[in-house]
Amino acid sequence: MHSGRGLTALRAEIGDCQRCKLAKGRMHIVFGTGNPEANLMFVGEAPGADEDAQGEPFVGAAGQLLTKMIQAMGYQRQDVYICNILKCRPPQNRNPEPDEIAACEQFLRKQIAIVQPRVIVALGKFAAQFLCGETTPITRLRGNLRTFHEIPVMPTYHPAFLLRDASRKGEAWADLKQVMALLGHMGLR
């Protein structure tokens, strides 16, 4: 099936999801955005207040930094696909809980299967540990390519963390440069 139609069907399958306790506090399910045929996918943690209000991932302060990171790589937001592990906002932006990830991860898995990105960038601890299948701290995971079902995964810092500690931006840029080199080797510029 065409990826765009596959994603539309998946969003319909999610429906007015009540599969976990986050349903009662959310305004919007934040499914994902961008190019259904993207070579490059970014996976974050969960929607924050701005994303919950607008129904789109990474539109708040961290999202603005992510957009700059994407542009620095030579892409526009609409060229790539952006989504999160959790599709609903945890209260007070607390960390995702295991039962919430267990209820929601099927949708990220299906998004990846539909989009079939050539490379995935995992933003922050939760996305990195989930996609890499490791509990290694993000400080040691980042910058080291792993795979998720044979798709290369580059773990890096979450842009919200980079907003709190700008001294880490150089490491994140080094990670993204590795991704650009990998895409270049694949003939994808």
Near ligand URA by CB under 6 A: residue from 62, 70, 122, 138: 62
Q: Please check whether residue 182 is in contact with residue 171, taking contact to mean a CB–CB distance below 8 angstroms.
A: no
Helix ranges (DSSP H) in 34-142: 49-54, 61-72, 98-115, 124-132, 138-141
Near ligand URA by CB under 6 A: residue from 20, 38, 46, 131: 46
Stretch that binds ligand URA, among 4-12, 21-29, 39-47, 138-146 (CB under 6 A): 39-47
Nearer to ligand URA, 98 or 186 (CB): 98
Euclidean distance between CA atoms 78 and 135, whole angstroms:
31
Q: Which of residues 79-118 bind ligand URA (CB under 6 A)?
A: 84
Token representation of residue 88: 């609903």
Stretch that binds ligand URA, among 10-18, 59-67, 134-142, 146-154 (CB under 6 A): 59-67
Stretch that binds ligand URA, among 13-21, 44-52, 68-76, 132-140 (CB under 6 A): 44-52
Backbone angles phi, psi at 36, to 5 degrees: -60, -20
Residues 6+ apart with CB under 8 A from 77: 33, 34, 67, 70
Euclidean distance between CA atoms 149 and 114, whole angstroms:
13
Is residue 34 at the binding interface for ligand URA, with CB under 6 A as the rule? no
Widest CA span of the chain, in angstroms? 45
**Residue recorded with tokens 């080199």:** 181
Is residue 20 at the binding interface for ligand URA, with CB under 6 A as the rule? no
Is residue 57 at the binding interface for ligand URA, with CB under 6 A as the rule? yes
Is residue 155 at the binding interface for ligand URA, with CB under 6 A as the rule? no
Q: Which of residues 114-133 bind ligand URA (CB under 6 A)?
A: none
Question: What's 15's DSSP letter?
Answer: -
Judged by the rule CB under 6 A, the positions of this chain that interact with ligand URA are 44-48, 51, 57-58, 60, 62-63, 84, 160
